[in-house]
Amino acid sequence: MNMKRYSELDTEMPIGVFDSGIGGLTVAREIMRQMPNEKIVYFGDTARVPYGSKSKETVTRYSRQIVRFLLEQKVKAIAIACNTASAYALPEIEQECPVPVIGVIRPGAKTACSCTKNGRIGVIGTRATVSSGSYTEFIHQIMPEAEVFAQACPLFVPLVEEGLWEDPVTDEIARRYMASLLDHGIDTLIMGCTHYPLIRKTIGRAAGDMISLINPAYETAMELRQMLGEMNLLADHRPALGSTVPQYRFYVSDMAEQFQQFANSIIKYGILASEKIDIYNYSGKPFSAEEGAG
Ligand code: DGL
């Protein structure tokens, strides 16, 4: 990490968090819980969700547009709170971006490695996350002898978005997805998609009591806190009450009202408003030397 690039940043600046839509709120919620002094600017790409069925090229272009928007909001760090975007775009964004960036995959892989006893780890995620092989790669960097079994669960995201968190249909789908993973004798399962922690109970029922479920959001917030601490960028006090700029700001690319309702059911801190912005106004091209590290 080149610390010189970060000399313009200060503790008062917000953390930028983005996802393809609502799922990243599970990561934002964890950042709020672990770092109550921090301001957050959240962007949900509700116009273009899902990312999980799109190509690496498209997801990387979308991610660059969002990063440009977040940089305009003067963020001091960016959390890619989307497994698919972390799997596809993190290496490019990390390389190009003039502020520190964290994804959810490495933290999730790390937790799984410290949790497994038999070295057999399951990963569930979108088709894109599973086919990227990103979790397997990070797990093998930490634990070369681990055996990783991945299963795409494309029906989970629509089921969550339809509000079927506790429903026999979701239970049945979960059992089917879990069957092949259970045959491999896994003892640890990474919920490698931001929506999945919202159906943790259903996944837990299908997986059974003997399997530890890993939510990468928790470890991501911990790593982010550690990273900001090492860079002396942690906010040391809560923003003043009644400040004109709210502590948490939410932006979306479409359906602001619907997002707000959903967000209020996930985050208990009260989402005052979410604003729609035109993400297409931001370039999806690689960052130039002036904008980024070059
Ligand atoms: N946020 C995405 C992820 O974590 C799931 C939704 C999507 O496919 O965009 O992979």
How far is it, in rounded angstroms, from Cα 88 to Cα 243? 37
How far is it, in rounded angstroms, from Cα 34 to Cα 223? 11
How far is it, in rounded angstroms, from Cα 144 to Cα 184? 18
Ligand 1 centroid, distance to 252 Cα (angstroms)? 15
**Residue from 97, 113, 153, 193 carrying the catalytic annotation:** 193
Query: For residue 286, what is the DSSP state?
Result: P
How far is it, in rounded angstroms, from Cα 207 to Cα 269? 31
Specify the ligand 1 atom closest to the Cα of 82: 4
Specify the ligand 1 atom closest to the Cα of 23: 1
Higher pLDDT, 86 or 2: 86
115 is catalytic: no
Global pTM value: 0.94
What's the rounded mean pLDDT across residues 24-41? 96
Ligand 1 centroid, distance to 8 Cα (angstroms)? 32
pLDDT tier at 50, thresholds 50, 70, 90: very high
Residue range 233-288, pLDDT digits in tens: 999 988 877 777 889 999 999 999 989 888 888 887 766 678 999 999 999 999 88
Ligand 1 centroid, distance to 5 Cα (angstroms)? 30
Residue range 59-113, pLDDT digits in tens: 999 999 999 999 999 999 999 999 999 999 999 999 999 999 999 999 999 999 9
Helix or strand or coil: residue 193? Answer: coil
Using a 6 Å CB cutoff, which residues line ligand 1? 19-20, 23, 49-52, 82-84, 125-126, 129, 157, 193-195
